[in-house]
Amino acid sequence: MKTTSRIFALLMALALLVSCAPPAPEKIVETITVVETVVVEGSPVVQEKVITATPLPPKDKVTLRLNWSFYGIHAAFIYGVEKGIYDKYNIDLTVKQGNGSSNAVKLVANKDSDFAYASNGALISNMVGGAPVIAVMSVDAMGTDAVLCRPDSGIKEFKDLKGKTIMTTAGAGVNDYFPVALAHEGMSLDDVKLTNVAEAALVTSYLQNLAPCILAGIDDKPAQIEQEGGDPPIIFNYADYGVNQPGYVIVAHQDTVNENPDLVQRMVNATLESVQACLDDRAACAKALVDYNSQLADTETMVRKQLDVSLDILFSPNNKNKCLGLNVPEDWAGVLELKKQYQGLETDMTADMFYTNQFIPCAQ
């Protein structure tokens, strides 16, 4: 009798434990009914077929921080969203305007944004300063930094900049290599008068002749100057004055690269595909950005000119195989040496520590 009681008590305890245990996870499937018509012995017959499949996980919400307010090359990201390319890679992408490459890199470093489109110079400076970020792909493979001067300023050669006031924007990537170009021509920052203005006021101030020159990218500001009624500026491209550099890159946090490489791979794949789609139909790509941002209404010609500049420099001369998105080792090594030689950069970091090509399919 005691044995029977013990067995009964044990069974009751087991039943209680089972009733308290969490239910087994339910296998989630999507059920799709497909109606199709088949021919059976010469006669059409309508039949139903039930297909079950495991649904995709929820889309990753991803923020891409830009270097500035919307212009030309940014259309590639918007076009990718419009065409469902990021969606295909299970990414719900939000593209946010920025306020300088350096600020964009910092926002990734503090995890405000997941990725950034920023200049290599801003990335290097921030990484040397301890920012835990890295370039995961290249976009514009050559630099577009330049000094733009009014054609009525009397400035005909780079050396004519000596003693002149030049406007720029604090935190802009275009500031990084200006001292290199100056040094190449035997000058320093002490030989010019740099003054900072808000990015939104840069072109307006230039057109009002508040200074004869500005530091800007040839991938956006010359077209904007013409759009707003100015004459084509005189352009002194840093590349003609000793500055050979990779251009703009996609920046990720090193934690993201280490802990969620699948997300980085999907982001890179989607961006590569979006850039290629933009190359395949430049007009549609430019229109996507103009339609997306109301402040760009009636500026499609300007945006297309800006876009063309960037799309025409996707491959540096050192990228022999024209591998889209590649961070070219020679270019990074060269620019690091420039910063050490002309900017007094002190670091034990080697060039290959600032980028990775592990997510670039054609680099494998």
Give the per-residue pLDDT at 29.
Answer: 46
The full set of domains in the chain, from first to last, is 60-142+245-363 (3.40.190.10), 145-241 (3.40.190.10)
Question: pTM for the whole thing?
Answer: 0.77
Give the per-residue pLDDT at 339.
Answer: 87
Measured CA to CA, the distance from residue 92 to residue 113 in angstroms comes to 13
Give the per-residue pLDDT at 209.
Answer: 97
Q: Tens digit of pLDDT for each residue in 246-273? A: 889 999 999 999 999 999 999 999 999 9
Burial 289-323 (b: 16+ CB within 10 A, else e): bbebbeebeebeebbbbbbbbbbebbbbebbeeeb
Give the per-residue pLDDT at 281.
Answer: 98
Residue 285 pLDDT greater than 60, yes or no: yes
Residue 3 pLDDT greater than 80, yes or no: no
Q: Tens digit of pLDDT for each residue in 190-208? A: 999 999 999 889 999 999 9
SS3 sequence, 298-324? CCHHHHHHHHHHHHCCCCCCCCCCCCC
Q: Tens digit of pLDDT for each residue in 143-171? A: 889 999 999 999 999 999 999 999 999 87
- The pLDDT of 350-360, averaged and rounded, is 98
307 is written with which tokens?
A: 């876009």
- Signed CA dihedral, 279, 282, 286, 288: sign only: negative
334 is written with which tokens?
A: 């060269």
Q: If phi over 0 gives left and psi between -120 and 50 gives alpha, with beta otherwise, what is residue 64? A: beta
The residue with greater pLDDT, 281 or 35, is 281
- The pLDDT of 336-351, averaged and rounded, is 90
Give the per-residue pLDDT at 41.
Answer: 63
Q: How confident is the model at residue 341 (pLDDT cuts 50, 70, 90)?
A: confident
Q: Tens digit of pLDDT for each residue in 312-331? A: 999 998 999 999 999 999 99
Q: What does the mean pLDDT of the chain come to?
A: 88
Give the per-residue pLDDT at 33.
Answer: 54
Give the per-residue pLDDT at 31.
Answer: 52
